[in-house]
Amino acid sequence: MVRVDKRYTFQGENGKSSLLDLFEGRRQLIVYHFMFSPEWGAGCDGCSWAVDAMTHPAHLHARDTSLVLVSRAPRGKLEQYRSRMGWSTPIPWYSSYESDFNFDFGATTDKGERHGVSVFIRDGNEIYRTYYTGARGVEYLGSLWTYLDLTPFGRQETWEDSPEGWPQTEPYVWNRRHDEYDV
């Protein structure tokens, strides 16, 4: 775990947000670093495939985990591309255009844009990065289970060997259809 002390600003659907805001009050955060440079006319085709396959976020929310997309392209370009792709799954997409976030977390280098996944956990207002994968490691992701397996708390089921006090339930007792979690 590496503590994140630097402040980052993102542009989201509701205006400016901090990294802490991206958690949406949850303890864990998965960031998909979606390749979309400010100079490009469209987002990365491979990243677009990844988003096409992403699970409904309600299932992750049920395990105290948020999933967001972050790109360097300005907010307007992100929304135009989301509309073009017909993505209706409510996965928030943030622009890090005026921030060092992508550079600091390896998603943009002197060689250009890179895709990847970063996992964060928060303890109060303290944020820690706990995992990162890029390149071929991203290709194995997509289902709810693979995303949860990347997080510090895992699937949070009793079959896992977790430290005392970590959240756990019996397997399959928490599963719902994505529109039934709040019922």
Is the per-residue pLDDT at 182 higher than 90? no
Is the per-residue pLDDT at 17 higher than 80? yes
Of 110, 117, 149, which is closest to residue 133 (Cα–Cα)?
117
pTM of the model: 0.84
Of 22, 2, 30, 4, which is closest to residue 130 (Cα–Cα)?
2
Confidence of residue 178 (pLDDT cuts 50, 70, 90): low
Q: 106: domain CATH number?
A: 3.40.30.10
In a domain, 182, yes or no: no
Total number of domains constituting the chain: 1
Is the per-residue pLDDT at 179 higher than 70? no
Residue 92's domain comprises 2-150
